[in-house]
């Protein structure tokens, strides 16, 4: 059995966790930065990096204390090395390197997206490779065929905004504050999903890619028209997002070799309406469905520690010269989506 310390600092959550290869979560600690970023309506990279630098080391100590372990008891140190806000990533990775150097333990540089992608395996021992993954977060919206640790085939990506970004922008338009996803979902429960006519960008298009920028603009126009209640805008927006995700996923399923398992991961996987749709898609295609518990969907260090477990078991450790990467696609060989902007 191996014991891995995980460190996460790529966006606005500082986190540390201790996880074992037999799926015990010995501790997981999380410090959010909502109050620091709230006045700005989004994450401010410089504020995030400073906050990570202040809180990370005591948080790692707290995670080790709760696990009743010292640094010498862990087998490796896994730290997020990208993609993300580079200042924050550097804080976590450099801390991981320093701990690895001081303890003589190996370092595992983890791709944050691989953390999300493998997190369902931490809670579901039945989930074997390969599986089809919908990865939906604040920065990413992708469909991946997960073939093994470090082995991904990207079937689709967004050509503009990520799904979480669309939730956050809708929240901003409706004056709900940051982070927007949970607030839009709560408001949507009270509204009529068919009240506001909104587009379903790329629905029916040939490749299974996503687009959400036009949906966000339509939400803005609907709000500015003054004709619709906020609850109805929230419900209609969420329904449009669900419809787009379903259409694109159905397309991807037609195009890839059958797999037994459909899996969702990333912060937007916390959304109940999206989970319900995915459960139905899985049932319609004779697939099992796995969604991690809500706390494991949004950013955390247990998923980084678990990716560390899997990489360590596969012999994938890193030297102390490994660098932090603001961009780091899971499938570097994937062809660029037509019309794609800067996001991969
Ligand atoms: O994975 P994550 O914690 O951070 C990134 O790596 O991006 O995802 C955060 C994103 C945010 O855009 C947030 O608004 C969204 O996940 N989110 C939700 C919900 N909870 C979080 N979106 C829709 N419904 C939710 N319940
Ligand atoms: Zn994330």
Residue with tokens 């891995």: 4
Band the pLDDT of 43: cuts 50, 70, 90.
confident
> How confident is the model at residue 344, as a pLDDT?
36
pLDDT, one tens digit per residue, over 120-160 is 999 999 999 999 999 999 999 999 999 999 999 999 999 99
Same-domain pairing of 172 and 273:
yes
How far, in Å, from the CA of 338 to the mean position of ligand 2?
A: 24
Q: Looking at the structure, do residues 134 and 266 belong to the same domain, yes or no?
A: yes
**Whether residue 59 is found in the same domain as residue 174:** no
pLDDT at 268 (0 to 100)? 96
Q: How many CB atoms lie within 10 A of CB 308?
A: 37
Read off the pLDDT of residues 266-275 as tens digits, 9 standing for 90 and up. Answer: 999 999 999 9
184 lies in the same domain as 305: no
List the CATH number of the domain containing 300. 3.30.420.40
How many C-beta atoms surround the C-beta of residue 195 within 10 A?
A: 17
Residues 145 and 282 in one domain: yes
338 within a domain of the structure (yes/no)? no
Per-position b or e across 106-122, b if 16+ CB within 10 A of its CB = bbbbbbbbbbbbbbbbb
327 alpha carbon – ligand 2 mean position (Å)? 13
Mean pLDDT of 12-28: 97
Residues 71, 157, single domain; the answer is no
Assigned token pair, 276: 């319900």
Contact predicate 101/77, CB 8 Å: no
Overall domain count for the chain: 2
Atom 23 of ligand 1 has which residue's CA nearest to it? 181
Query: Does residue 109 sit in the same domain as residue 160?
Result: no
pLDDT in tens, 211-265: 999 999 999 999 999 999 999 999 999 999 999 999 999 999 999 989 999 999 9
Say whether both 16 and 76 belong to one domain: yes
Confidence of residue 337 (pLDDT cuts 50, 70, 90): confident
Q: What is the atom index within ligand 1 of the atom nearest the CA of 139?
A: 7
Q: Which residue minimizes the CA distance to atom 1 of ligand 1? A: 267
Same domain, residue pair 162 and 272: yes
Q: Residue holding tokens 């139905």?
A: 280
pLDDT reported for residue 342: 39
Give the domain extent around 43: 3-117+296-313
Nearest CA to ligand 1 atom 19: 181
pTM above 0.75, yes or no: yes
112 and 230 both lie in a single domain: no
CA 184 to ligand 1 center in whole angstroms: 11
Q: What DSSP assignment string belongs to 143-169?
A: EEEEEETTEEEEEE-BSS--HHHHHHH
Q: Tokens 């989004």, residue?
A: 42
Q: Which atom of ligand 1 is nearest to the CA of 116?
A: 1
Are 70 and 155 part of one and the same domain? no
For residue 35, what pLDDT band results from cuts at 50, 70 and 90?
confident
Pocket test for ligand 1, best of 140, 163, 181 (most atoms within 8 A of CB): 181
Of the three residues 264, 293, 322, the one that is the final residue of a domain is 293
């Amino acid at each position: 059995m191996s014991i891995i310390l995980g460190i996460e600092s790529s966006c606005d959550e500082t986190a540390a966790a201790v996880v074992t290869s037999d799926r015990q979560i010995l501790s997981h600690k999380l410090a959010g930065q909502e109050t620091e970023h709230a006045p700005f309506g989004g994450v401010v990279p410089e504020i995030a990096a400073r906050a990570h630098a202040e809180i990370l080391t005591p948080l790692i100590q707290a995670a080790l204390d709760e696990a009743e372990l010292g640094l010498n008891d862990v087998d490796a140190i896994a730290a997020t090395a990208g993609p993300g806000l580079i200042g924050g990533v550097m804080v976590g990775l450099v801390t991981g390197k320093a701990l690895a150097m001081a303890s003589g333990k190996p370092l595992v540089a983890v791709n944050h997206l691989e953390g999300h992608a493998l997190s369902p395996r931490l809670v579901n021992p039945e989930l074997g490779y390969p599986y089809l993954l919908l990865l939906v977060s604040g920065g990413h919206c992708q469909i991946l065929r997960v073939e093994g640790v470090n082995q991904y085939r990207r079937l689709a990506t967004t050509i503009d905004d990520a799904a979480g970004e669309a939730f956050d922008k809708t929240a901003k338009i409706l004056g709900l504050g940051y982070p927007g996803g949970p607030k839009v979902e709560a408001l949507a429960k009270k509204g009529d999903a068919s009240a506001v006519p909104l587009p379903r960008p790329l629905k029916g298009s040939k490749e299974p890619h996503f687009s959400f920028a036009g949906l966000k603009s339509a939400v803005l126009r609907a709000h500015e028209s003054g004709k619709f209640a906020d609850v109805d805008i929230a419900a209609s927006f969420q329904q449009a997002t669900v419809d787009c995700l379903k259409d694109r996923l159905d397309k991807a399923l037609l195009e890839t070799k059958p797999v037994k398992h459909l899996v969702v991961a990333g912060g937007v996987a916390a959304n109940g309406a999206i989970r319900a749709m995915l459960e139905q898609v899985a049932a319609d295609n004779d697939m099992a469905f796995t969604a991690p518990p809500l706390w494991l969907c949004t950013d955390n260090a247990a998923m980084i520690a678990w990716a560390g477990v899997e990489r360590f078991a596969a012999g994938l450790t890193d030297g102390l010269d490994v660098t932090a990467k603001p961009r780091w696609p899971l499938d570097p060989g994937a062809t660029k989506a037509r019309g794609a902007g800067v996001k991969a």
